[in-house]
Protein backbone atom coordinates (compact mmCIF):
# COMPACT_ATOMS: atom_id res chain seq x y z
CA UNK A 1 0.00 0.00 0.00
CA UNK A 2 1.22 3.50 -0.86
CA UNK A 3 1.69 5.96 2.03
CA UNK A 4 0.68 9.33 0.62
CA UNK A 5 2.39 11.33 3.39
CA UNK A 6 5.77 9.95 2.35
CA UNK A 7 5.46 10.70 -1.35
CA UNK A 8 3.30 13.86 -1.34
CA UNK A 9 6.23 16.34 -1.20
CA UNK A 10 7.90 14.74 -4.23
CA UNK A 11 4.61 14.69 -6.16
CA UNK A 12 4.02 18.37 -5.44
CA UNK A 13 7.57 19.26 -6.46
CA UNK A 14 7.24 17.35 -9.75
CA UNK A 15 3.89 18.89 -10.75
CA UNK A 16 4.39 22.45 -9.43
CA UNK A 17 5.70 23.90 -12.73
CA UNK A 18 2.56 22.68 -14.54
CA UNK A 19 0.35 24.13 -11.80
CA UNK A 20 2.18 27.48 -11.84
CA UNK A 21 1.73 27.72 -15.60
CA UNK A 22 -2.06 27.46 -15.15
CA UNK A 23 -2.26 29.56 -11.93
CA UNK A 24 -3.37 26.56 -9.86
CA UNK A 25 -2.62 25.14 -6.39
CA UNK A 26 -2.84 21.63 -5.04
CA UNK A 27 -5.81 21.49 -2.67
CA UNK A 28 -5.33 17.85 -1.67
CA UNK A 29 -3.59 14.65 -2.74
CA UNK A 30 -5.16 11.29 -1.88
CA UNK A 31 -4.67 7.62 -2.56
CA UNK A 32 -8.03 5.97 -3.10
CA UNK A 33 -7.99 2.19 -2.71
CA UNK A 34 -10.84 0.57 -4.61
CA UNK A 35 -10.81 -3.23 -4.54
CA UNK A 36 -7.52 -4.10 -6.25
CA UNK A 37 -6.82 -0.69 -7.80
CA UNK A 38 -5.08 2.38 -6.40
CA UNK A 39 -6.01 5.82 -7.68
CA UNK A 40 -3.72 8.78 -7.15
CA UNK A 41 -6.19 11.66 -6.82
CA UNK A 42 -4.90 15.22 -7.17
CA UNK A 43 -7.45 17.93 -6.40
CA UNK A 44 -6.63 21.45 -7.57
CA UNK A 45 -7.99 24.98 -7.22
CA UNK A 46 -7.28 28.39 -8.72
CA UNK A 47 -4.55 30.29 -6.80
CA UNK A 48 -6.33 33.62 -6.70
CA UNK A 49 -9.99 32.56 -6.65
CA UNK A 50 -10.51 29.21 -4.86
CA UNK A 51 -14.16 29.14 -5.98
CA UNK A 52 -13.41 29.68 -9.66
CA UNK A 53 -14.98 26.94 -11.78
CA UNK A 54 -12.58 24.94 -13.93
CA UNK A 55 -13.49 23.87 -17.41
CA UNK A 56 -13.03 20.38 -18.76
CA UNK A 57 -10.32 21.34 -21.25
CA UNK A 58 -8.19 22.85 -18.47
CA UNK A 59 -8.41 19.66 -16.40
CA UNK A 60 -7.65 17.44 -19.41
CA UNK A 61 -4.57 19.52 -20.30
CA UNK A 62 -3.39 19.52 -16.69
CA UNK A 63 -3.89 15.75 -16.43
CA UNK A 64 -1.60 15.20 -19.41
CA UNK A 65 1.09 17.47 -17.93
CA UNK A 66 0.82 15.86 -14.47
CA UNK A 67 1.01 12.38 -15.99
CA UNK A 68 4.21 13.29 -17.85
CA UNK A 69 5.72 14.85 -14.71
CA UNK A 70 4.91 11.77 -12.65
CA UNK A 71 6.36 9.38 -15.24
CA UNK A 72 9.81 10.34 -13.97
CA UNK A 73 8.86 9.30 -10.45
CA UNK A 74 8.11 5.63 -11.11
CA UNK A 75 10.25 4.58 -8.14
CA UNK A 76 7.72 6.30 -5.83
CA UNK A 77 4.89 4.02 -6.91
CA UNK A 78 5.68 0.38 -6.25
CA UNK A 79 2.22 -0.63 -7.46
CA UNK A 80 0.19 0.19 -10.55
CA UNK A 81 -2.13 3.13 -10.13
CA UNK A 82 -4.69 5.26 -11.92
CA UNK A 83 -4.31 9.04 -12.06
CA UNK A 84 -7.27 11.32 -11.37
CA UNK A 85 -6.79 15.09 -11.62
CA UNK A 86 -9.90 17.09 -10.72
CA UNK A 87 -11.21 20.34 -9.36
CA UNK A 88 -11.47 20.42 -5.58
CA UNK A 89 -15.09 21.52 -6.11
CA UNK A 90 -17.22 24.55 -5.44
CA UNK A 91 -18.31 23.50 -1.92
CA UNK A 92 -14.91 22.42 -0.64
CA UNK A 93 -14.00 22.68 3.01
CA UNK A 94 -12.04 25.67 4.29
CA UNK A 95 -9.42 23.88 6.36
CA UNK A 96 -7.15 26.58 7.73
CA UNK A 97 -7.10 30.20 8.75
CA UNK A 98 -5.04 31.03 5.64
CA UNK A 99 -7.80 29.52 3.48
CA UNK A 100 -10.41 31.43 5.49
CA UNK A 101 -8.58 34.69 4.83
CA UNK A 102 -8.76 33.98 1.07
CA UNK A 103 -12.49 33.32 1.43
CA UNK A 104 -13.40 36.79 2.75
CA UNK A 105 -16.28 38.05 0.65
CA UNK A 106 -17.40 34.50 -0.16
CA UNK A 107 -20.66 32.77 0.63
CA UNK A 108 -20.10 29.91 3.08
CA UNK A 109 -21.79 27.33 5.27
CA UNK A 110 -20.43 27.61 8.81
CA UNK A 111 -20.98 25.54 11.96
CA UNK A 112 -19.79 26.81 15.34
CA UNK A 113 -18.58 25.04 18.46
CA UNK A 114 -21.05 27.00 20.61
CA UNK A 115 -24.42 28.47 19.59
CA UNK A 116 -25.01 32.20 19.89
CA UNK A 117 -28.63 33.28 20.45
CA UNK A 118 -29.67 29.71 19.64
CA UNK A 119 -27.92 29.66 16.25
CA UNK A 120 -25.06 27.22 15.79
CA UNK A 121 -24.91 27.14 11.97
CA UNK A 122 -25.97 29.15 8.94
CA UNK A 123 -25.18 30.00 5.33
CA UNK A 124 -23.89 33.53 4.85
CA UNK A 125 -21.07 35.77 3.72
CA UNK A 126 -17.73 36.32 5.39
CA UNK A 127 -17.75 40.10 5.28
CA UNK A 128 -14.48 40.99 7.00
CA UNK A 129 -11.62 40.10 9.30
CA UNK A 130 -10.32 42.35 12.06
CA UNK A 131 -6.61 41.67 12.64
CA UNK A 132 -6.65 43.49 15.99
CA UNK A 133 -9.29 41.19 17.50
CA UNK A 134 -8.60 38.27 15.14
CA UNK A 135 -12.36 38.04 14.50
CA UNK A 136 -14.24 37.34 11.30
CA UNK A 137 -17.62 38.93 10.71
CA UNK A 138 -20.37 36.93 9.04
CA UNK A 139 -23.58 38.34 7.53
CA UNK A 140 -26.56 36.00 7.21
CA UNK A 141 -30.36 35.91 7.35
CA UNK A 142 -32.71 34.22 9.80
CA UNK A 143 -36.35 34.15 8.66
CA UNK A 144 -35.66 37.06 6.32
CA UNK A 145 -34.05 39.26 8.97
CA UNK A 146 -30.38 40.26 8.48
CA UNK A 147 -28.02 39.11 11.23
CA UNK A 148 -24.30 39.43 12.00
CA UNK A 149 -21.95 37.27 14.02
CA UNK A 150 -18.32 37.76 14.90
CA UNK A 151 -16.12 34.75 15.60
CA UNK A 152 -12.52 33.66 15.77
CA UNK A 153 -11.24 30.79 13.67
CA UNK A 154 -11.06 28.53 16.74
CA UNK A 155 -14.79 29.13 17.36
CA UNK A 156 -15.60 27.42 14.05
CA UNK A 157 -16.20 23.67 14.10
CA UNK A 158 -16.65 23.34 10.31
CA UNK A 159 -16.74 25.73 7.36
CA UNK A 160 -17.02 25.25 3.60
CA UNK A 161 -17.85 27.29 0.55
CA UNK A 162 -21.56 27.24 -0.29
CA UNK A 163 -23.64 27.91 -3.36
CA UNK A 164 -26.11 30.76 -2.95
CA UNK A 165 -29.53 30.04 -4.44
Ordered by where they begin, the domains of the chain are 4-87 (3.30.300.70), 97-161 (2.30.30.180)
Give, to the nearest 10 degrees, the angle between helix 56-71 and helix 4-21: 120
Query: Comparing 1-10, 63-72, 80-89, 102-111, which segment has the lowest mean pLDDT?
Result: 1-10
Q: What is the DSSP string of 12-56?
A: HHHHHHHHHHTTEEEEEEEEEEETTEEEEEEEEEESS-TT----H
Q: What pLDDT, on the 0 to 100 scale, is given for residue 99?
A: 95
Which pLDDT band, with edges at 50, 70 and 90, does 155 fall under?
very high
Amino acid sequence: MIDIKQIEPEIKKAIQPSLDELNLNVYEINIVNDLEDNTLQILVEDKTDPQKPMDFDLIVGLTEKVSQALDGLNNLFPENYFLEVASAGIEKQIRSEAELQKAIGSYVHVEFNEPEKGIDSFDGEISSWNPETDEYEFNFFVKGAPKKRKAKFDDIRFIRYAVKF
